[in-house]
Amino acid sequence: MELAAHQQELQRRRSVRRGGRSRATRDTALLQPSGVDVHADLCVDSLSSVILQNALQAAASGPLRLKCRVFKAKRVLAFEIMSLLESLDPSYVRRLDLRVKRLGLTEFSKILGQLSRFPELRSLKLHNSNVDVQRPTLESTMESPWLVWQLGIPTSFQELSLGSSRLPGNLHQILRFHAPAFKSLDVNGLDVSKGLLELLQLFLEKTSSSLLHLDLRDCRMANSHLKALLPTLLRCSRLRFLGLHGNHLSTDALKDLLQKILELPDLHLVVYPFPVDCYKLARLESDFDFVPDEELLAVATVEFSQVVANSGRTDLDWTYNPDGHDVLDYFSL
């Protein structure tokens, strides 16, 4: 961005003109707007973060006021993220998408603590953000990030995505927040086998009337977990997407799921995992491992397709392919 340089040039021109103005001209100028709001979605990386920081600092005292709705940071250091968040006009930010580089527990707590500055925040994404809990920190802070998180979430919040993030502390606190219009949850990689299933059930109950997108990929979900979750899942009457890829589910469990979710009228895409009974032990280069059995998978696929065909739900895409699907924007900015 050339925003900082542009503002400096405007200030220079104004100072040149100021010397030759008459009093009447100066009085007229006082009646004119003091600046211009510039609305922009911002995306920075490790190279452009310094440029943006300079622009935001210049905007704080210049005629151009930068108003950011969507802020994305890719592989930016934690202290730079915090500095940029502090410089944003808090009243306009609605979506934060952060991929933080070298994130320590203390920095993680501070980033979550800044959420309370943004009263209109609707979406938070922390993709591939792995917190280094081995870095020196007070033991008492191990559970503080999510306590801070609960205090900072506005009631307008609608989307949480923790895809492929390894996050510290008491993860039970992640879903303990009140968001009556919540629409999209991505906890890809969260281990539901570690006592998180009941909390997930409670959260789905609270958001069942508004939830549209639920991504539970790679959550180490077994048949017993799915069976326990299914009654609550069926209450999510507006659900449009369900992601289950990477979980340990059998053909029978998936077939039972398919037959029951057909009653969800808005559900159009389900990404299911390879059934665990469709694997075979095979010899690889120097070892043995389980690989998909294409024949068994083909038989299971035919069974699933027959269920869908018999239901008449031609609008439902039931697939084990996790790629190539458009990610819908579930709320208007």
Domains of the chain: 1-17+25-153 (3.80.10), 183-328 (3.80.10.10)
CA distance 314 to 292: 27
CA distance 148 to 107: 12
- Count the neighbouring beta carbons within 10 Å of the beta carbon of residue 56: 21
Contacts of range 138-147, beta carbons closer than 8 Å, 24 or more positions apart = 141/105, 141/106, 141/109, 142/105, 142/168, 142/169, 142/170, 143/169, 143/170, 143/173, 144/109, 144/169, 145/105, 145/108, 145/109, 145/112, 145/169, 146/112, 146/170, 146/171, 146/173, 146/174, 146/176, 147/173
CA distance 7 to 123: 31
| pTM, full prediction | 0.82
What is the pLDDT tens value at each position of the chain, 333 positions in all? 444 555 555 455 555 455 555 554 555 444 445 678 888 899 999 889 999 998 888 877 788 888 999 999 998 888 899 999 999 999 999 999 998 877 777 777 788 888 888 999 999 988 766 665 444 444 444 445 666 677 668 888 999 888 766 665 555 667 777 778 899 999 888 888 877 888 899 999 999 999 999 999 999 999 999 999 999 999 999 999 999 999 999 999 999 999 999 999 999 999 999 999 999 877 777 777 778 899 999 999 999 999 999 999 999 999 999 887 776 776 654
